[in-house]
Amino acid sequence: MVPVSSPPLRLDSYDAVLFDLDGVITPTGEVHMRAWTVLFDDFLRERGITEPYTDADYFAHVDGKPRYDGVRDFLASRRIELPEGSPQDGSDAQSVAGLGNRKNDVFAGILRTDGVQAYPGSLRVLDQLAVAGTAVAVVSSSRNARAVLEAAGIVERFEVVVDGTVAAERGLAGKPAPDTFWDAARQLGAAVERCAVVEDAVSGVAAGRAGRFGLVVGVDRGAGAGALQDAGADVVVGDLAQLVP
């Protein structure tokens, strides 16, 4: 783990902070992991493939990416070819889009059943930024970002939400490209070098570094501190509470 500088690193010294959602603000990363496991376990079993889908597959091929990209990259890692399909495909379709839509159905079911609460440390950081008047945004590959924020009761805390739906509507490339972060900074009227990016996914950290943001914070929820550093994190913490003085 990369130590936080002393005195504590202050996110409120930046004009804006751009947060990933799943695994950074809310523990929905765990829900996504469960949903991906259900999806790919069933898919591999249906095809008679005995090599299981693992958490290592999630972090290497799926974590932080737009849903269809995650499906495509995992299938490529197993040398499985499926037609691309379209977003209108049913969840039973044997296509990249069909599998992605099936995963979303599984995720939505878990969210309805279990709900979600924000990490206490992340709420402390948001409180600190609110007092300082620092602009905040959520930048998430998930098309469920607003639903998750509403379920957690914190949607009103964020001035801007750039999620998978917004990215698709505006033709923005997903992480590890920096385009969604750039769009959030533009909406907030903040210069890139005056923005901090907070991410738990290797692809998200890479996007922050590629975007030349003033600070890139990695939150290690399982990707590994070394992997986040290698992707370009300036500092890695285990919980955002470590950034509160």
Provide CB contacts within 8 A for 11, sequence distance 6+: 17, 125, 128, 129, 134, 196, 198, 215, 217, 243
Assign 121 to helix, strand or coil. Answer: helix
Sheet of strand 235-237: strand arrangement: 160-162, 135-139, 16-19, 195-199, 215-219, 235-237
Assign 162 to helix, strand or coil. Answer: strand
Query: CA separation (Å) from 142 to 6, 80, 181, 213, 236?
Result: 34, 24, 14, 22, 23
d(CA 16, CA 185) in angstroms, rounded, equals: 8
Write out the catalytic residue numbers. 20, 22
Assign 83 to helix, strand or coil. Answer: coil
